[in-house]
Amino acid sequence: MLNLLEELLKPFSIFVYPQSLRKINEELYIFVAKINNTKNIGIIKQNQSIYFSNPYFSEDKKIEKTGFSVNIYPLNFENYQKLKEIIPINPKTCNKKISFGTGDRLGLVTSAQLSVLKDYNLFPILAQQSPRELIKTKRDFKDVLLKSVIGVLEIGYTDSYGADADHIKDEKYLMEAIDAGYTMYTLDISDFIERIENLTSKEIREKYEKISSFSKKIIEKYAGKKIKISNEEYFELSYDELCKSAIVYEKALSFVEMVYEILRSKLLEFDIEVSIDEGERDTTPEDHFFVVQFLHEKGIDFKSLAPKFPGEFQKGIDYIGDIKKFENELKKQYALTKALEGYRLSLHSGSDKFSIYKSFYKITEGNFHIKTSGTSWLEAVKTIARYSPDLFLELYHIALENLEESKKAYKVSITKEEFPKEIKEDYIEFLKKPNVRQLFHISYGVLLDEKREEIYEILNKNEKEHYQYVSENIRKHLKNLFEEE
């Protein structure tokens, strides 16, 4: 069937992704076709009443000697809804101990990511974007999901995958993600927490008096509780620290309650992740315990918690900090997950954090979620550096000129003064430098604003090489994580 299909479509300059051809039943096949740099779904049918909107051909084309006919359609949301009735292509909730989120800011490389993810015993979260990323890329939740779906089809992937509405802070984006059919909701409560760093002891006592009796009961019941790390080690929950945790998080957790009730009213299944990793405050054991116990006693079922670990998790580069200190704190955080049960730890800004992957896997006993996002975007930049040096140079100067604006959305420690005005080395080697990676990592918004067409043109023209870079990068992450040599 593939050879006959390719022969039929070749005169129309339509490329068929060979791995995408999927037999649904004796009278129905689907595939992915590329027309003018746009990926579409193809339907091959025989005696089937299946109708999608906006066909490429005004009449179905006959595949000679087969009795089948074919047409091609855009994967818009309307056609996606119809496609779900034919095959179970929609995202699902997580069903494995390990999940790994990739994200695809450009909507081009899901299949390249999956080519590696499918080789590991993990649950892939493919559509992973935050409102901040949607604004900067001028996309929406539906578009991100559809591009992931086309990638799933393109590579012929038939297992489950998830879709993460990342860093949800308000009801507007929550409802958009629900409407698009996302399965994971990462709730960022950083805007709702109380800041206590500069408060006096008297001010903290006054704040404590104002918290609810519900929170006070948790403190009174669990202060002094011992949490076992190992047969030889344990730690004790401090009364004073639990009081501070309640002050910091109580109001913020009402947002989680609200979202949970909305999700329960709209969806049969969903995964919630609670993110407390933003801001300057490292998550104390008491913070972790209070947040989890509060939610559990409210009857809120969440699947993962993202604490803020010591050290710095800056974008596009390895972990910065004392690894031993990180490991010691991770042991406490993981001990709490075992004591409280029902959820996993999540590592945010997890891309390129190779130096802590092995210990993270070992300490959590292979039970976690890791978020990566911008690392695949950097592989797109690498592709441009190799195949369009002039465009790469333009992007570099645009990124430099807009560095201060880009830094407003991301925590990085780079300054314009540390970058050369002229690049006097190989661009690929230049791009390996940590500060250069960070520069491009945070600059995707302005670069797409000014050079979107040129960026997509080069990446589409060199799709095979772009895919190879992305797959090699994801494989490097997973080899490190799964302790492969």
Q: How do residues 305-358 score in pLDDT, each as one tens digit? A: 999 999 999 988 999 999 999 999 999 999 999 999 999 999 999 999 999 999
Which tops the pLDDT comparison, 278 or 207?
A: 207
d(CA 188, CA 168): 6
**How far is C-alpha 283 from the geometric centre of its chain's CA atoms?**
22
Query: With pLDDT > 70 as the criterion, what percentage of the chain qualifies?
Result: 100
Mean pLDDT (whole number) for 172-197: 96
DSSP3 helix / strand / coil % (the chain, rounded to 5):
50, 15, 35
Question: Which residue ranges make up the annotated binding site?
Answer: 167, 315, 348
314 phi, psi to nearest 5 deg: -75, 160
* CA geometry: angle 345, 346, 347, nearest 5 deg: 130
d(CA 111, CA 334): 33
Q: Are residues 298 and 181 in the same domain?
A: yes
Known catalytic residue at 166 = yes
Question: What pLDDT shows up at residue 235?
Answer: 96
d(CA 70, CA 29): 9
- For residue 102, tell me if it sits in a domain: yes
d(CA 290, CA 468): 45
Known catalytic residue at 273 = yes
- For residue 192, tell me if it sits in a domain: yes
**How far is C-alpha 254 from the geometric centre of its chain's CA atoms?**
25
Predicted TM-score (pTM) of this structure: 0.96
- For residue 197, tell me if it sits in a domain: yes
- pLDDT surpassing 80 at residue 142: yes
Catalytic residue among 143, 166, 287, 352: 166
Q: Are residues 225 and 272 in the same domain?
A: yes
Of 243-247, 411-415, 480-484, the one with minimum mean pLDDT is 480-484
Q: Are residues 203 and 344 in the same domain?
A: yes
d(CA 161, CA 116): 14
- pLDDT surpassing 70 at residue 84: yes
**Under 8 Å between Cβ of 107 and 139:** yes
Query: With pLDDT > 90 as the criterion, what percentage of the chain qualifies?
Result: 94
Question: What pLDDT shows up at residue 65?
Answer: 84
Last residue of a domain, one of 86, 116, 134: 86
Q: Are residues 217 and 122 in the same domain?
A: yes
- pLDDT surpassing 80 at residue 465: yes
Using CA atoms, how far residue 168 sits from 26, 59, 182, 189, 309, in Å, is 43, 44, 12, 8, 21
Other Cβ atoms less than 10 A from the Cβ of 11: the count is 7
Q: Are residues 179 and 261 in the same domain?
A: yes
Last residue of a domain, one of 319, 354, 374: 374
Residues with Cβ within 8 Å of 224's Cβ and at least 6 positions away in sequence, in order, are 236, 237, 239
Question: How does DSSP classify residue 237?
Answer: -
Question: What pLDDT shows up at residue 177?
Answer: 98
- pLDDT surpassing 90 at residue 280: no
d(CA 271, CA 151): 22
Last residue of a domain, one of 335, 352, 374: 374
Q: Are residues 108 and 209 in the same domain?
A: yes
Q: How do residues 218-256 score in pLDDT, each as one tens digit? A: 999 999 999 999 888 999 999 999 999 999 999 999 999
Mean pLDDT (whole number) for 412-430: 95
Mean pLDDT (whole number) for 91-99: 98
- Angle at which helix 77-86 crosses helix 141-154, to 10 degrees, equals 40
Question: What pLDDT shows up at residue 407?
Answer: 94
462 class by beta-carbon count within 10 Å (0-12 exposed, 13-18 middle, 19+ buried): middle
Mean pLDDT (whole number) for 442-452: 98
- What is the amino acid identity at position 227? I
Q: Are residues 321 and 412 in the same domain?
A: no
* CA geometry: angle 171, 375, 365, nearest 5 deg: 80
Domain count, the chain: 3
312 phi, psi to nearest 5 deg: -120, 135
Q: Are residues 29 and 164 in the same domain?
A: no
Catalytic residue among 273, 286, 352, 379: 273
Q: How do residues 385-395 score in pLDDT, each as one tens digit? A: 999 999 999 99
d(CA 5, CA 16): 8
Q: How do residues 36-60 score in pLDDT, each as one tens digit? A: 999 999 999 998 788 899 999 999 9
Question: Which residue ranges make up the annotated binding site for a divalent metal cation?
Answer: 167, 315, 348
Question: What pLDDT shows up at residue 485?
Answer: 43
Q: Are residues 364 and 430 in the same domain?
A: no
- Across 47-157, the runs of DSSP E, i.e. the strands, are 61-63, 68-74, 98-101, 123-129
Q: In which element (H, E) is residue 392 found?
A: helix 389-401
20 lies in which domain range? 1-86
Instruction: Give the chain's mean pLDDT.
Output: 96
Q: Are residues 152 and 220 in the same domain?
A: yes
**Band (484; pLDDT cuts 50, 70, 90):** low
Q: Are residues 228 and 169 in the same domain?
A: yes
